[in-house]
Amino acid sequence: MWRVLGLLAVLVSFDATAQTPVPYRIENGAIAQPLTGVKGDPAKGRAIVVERQKGLCLLCHSGPFPEERFQGDLAPSLVGTGSRLSEGEIRLRMVDSTKVNEKTIMPPYYKTEGLERVAANYKGKTLLSAQEIEDVIAFLVSLKDDTQK
Amino acid sequence: MNRLAYLVVIGIALPAFAQDARKSGFDFMGPDTQAMQKDDLANPGMLSVLEGEALWKANAGTSQKSCASCHDDATQSIKGVAARYPAFDETTQAPLDLAGRIIQCRTERQGAPAPQREGRELLALTSYVAHQSRDLPIAPPKDARLASTRAQGAALYSTRMGQLNFSCAQCHDDNAGGHLGAAPIPQAHPTGYPLYRLEWQALGSLQRRFRNCLSGMRAEPIAAGSKEAIALELFLMERAAGIHLETPAVRP
């Protein structure tokens, strides 16, 4: 079991996304404008969130994913995210959570600058692409308190 | 204002004195893995210790001397040594880790080829030497010449690194005891090295363990035996001062 779920193996096996981040504007604790012109797809977003080698989310978060074993306990549950936060607030947290809490452990999913000692094969690459981030946001927005417990 | 700050400090410091919250990685493991470590017949690391014992007694290099020729009975002569490494090396005027010291003895005093880092010979000798300090408290030397390197290690430990932008401290101080997916996060005390890791299915050094965490962070590796690796090790040993050594430990 430890071999299949060995965290560090999980963290490294993902193929990073080569892209220059598109510019965005932070206003009132949110990024109101989507990063792409294509509307996010919540089903794809859900797949990214539960896929440990891509989203990494469940290493830290738990959420409404009864089929997923071993969800992390370092962060709040994702249940009800869409009731607590606006779309723009979720976008800011996905793009760069340190803009909300300087000390957060949540990785910046859309950032290539200001990082130290990035391994050569990840340098200049964002964790997720702009479209993947929009997909994840569309999914998180759909997590209302009354739709699951 | 000052007095208030003082009271707050005391309030925090007292419970810390009253109870040491530091724990070895051993305490974060399941009972099966703990039992495997505790039973010398089941602990796979003991094979390497035995191999190290044979190497210790065998003549090597142009000197045709063994480690034992100079150090005699290891169970007496090198007891406690691993508990105080890395140490300041007079020859190179730099901090040196235990594996580095063994490489130095091999090449300079025995006239043998330099054993490779993470190679079988060096791991075996290092685990044999460190095993002689099993159950002894980690006791870093009070040597002022180590201070700047140790400070470099402390800084590295709390610097965010890699694409995931984590620092070692965020996991091992702020979130120790929590779970990263399925894995419990230990406090990263270097109590058992070299140790047998089930995921490696092999014995490995502390510096190999650094490489694992760094690659998980998607950060540049730190070369084994480099100044940075020794700096991190120095810092972690100081942070773990007083905790007992377990070599050879077993970890998941």
Three-state DSSP at B197 gives strand
Q: What is the pLDDT of residue B41?
A: 98
- Is residue B8 scored above 90 in pLDDT? no
Is B213 an annotated catalytic residue?
yes
How many Cβ atoms are within 10 Å of B40's Cβ, its own excluded?
11
pLDDT in tens, A62-108: 999 999 999 999 999 999 999 999 999 999 999 999 999 999 999 99
Among candidates B161, B163, B175 on the partner chain, residue whose Cβ is nearest the Cβ of A105 = B175
Q: Is the dihedral of CA B197, B203, B207, B211 positive or negative?
A: negative
Shortest Cα distance from B190 to chain A (angstroms)?
18
State how far Cα A55 lies from the chain centre: 6
pLDDT surpassing 80 at residue B14: no
Q: Does B175 touch chain A (CB under 8 A)?
A: yes
Contact A71 B198 (CB under 8 A): no
ipTM of the shown complex: 0.89
Q: Given an 8 Å threshold on Cβ–Cβ distance, is A59 in contact with B181?
A: yes
Topology of B46-131 in CATH?
Cytochrome Bc1 Complex; Chain D, domain 2 (1.10.760)
Domain boundaries, chain B: 23-39+140-251, 46-131
| CATH number among 3.30.9.10, 1.10.10.60, 3.40.190.10, 1.10.760.10, domain B23-39+140-251 | 1.10.760.10
Length of chain B measured in residues = 252
With contacts defined as CB-CB under 8 Å, which chain A residues touch B172?
none
Phi and psi at residue B205, in whole multiples of 5°? -90, 170
Residues of A in contact with B161 (CB under 8 A): 115-118
Count of C-beta atoms within a 10 Å radius of residue B112: 19
Please give the model's pTM, rounded to 2 decimal places.
Answer: 0.92
Of A5-19, A94-108, B32-46, B107-121, the range with the lowest mean pLDDT is: A5-19
Q: Domains in chain A, please, with CATH?
A: 2-147 (1.10.760.10)
- Please give the pLDDT value at position A3: 37
In a mutagenesis test of the A interface, which of B36, B164, B196 is the best target, namely the one with the most A β-carbons within 10 Å? B164
Contacts of B119 (CB under 8 A, 6+ apart): none
Residue whose entry in the numeric block shows the structure tokens 């401290």: B169
pLDDT band at B77 (very low <50, low <70, confident <90, very high): very high
β-pair partners for B244 = B137
Percent of chain B whose predicted confidence (pLDDT) is above 70:
93
> How many angstroms away from the CA of B239 is the closest CA of chain A?
22
SS3 category, B252: coil
Summarised one tens digit per residue, pLDDT across range A31-65 is 999 999 999 999 999 999 999 889 999 999 999 99
Selecting from A71, A105, A119 the residue whose C-beta is nearest the C-beta of B220 gives A119
Tokens linked to B24: 């070895």
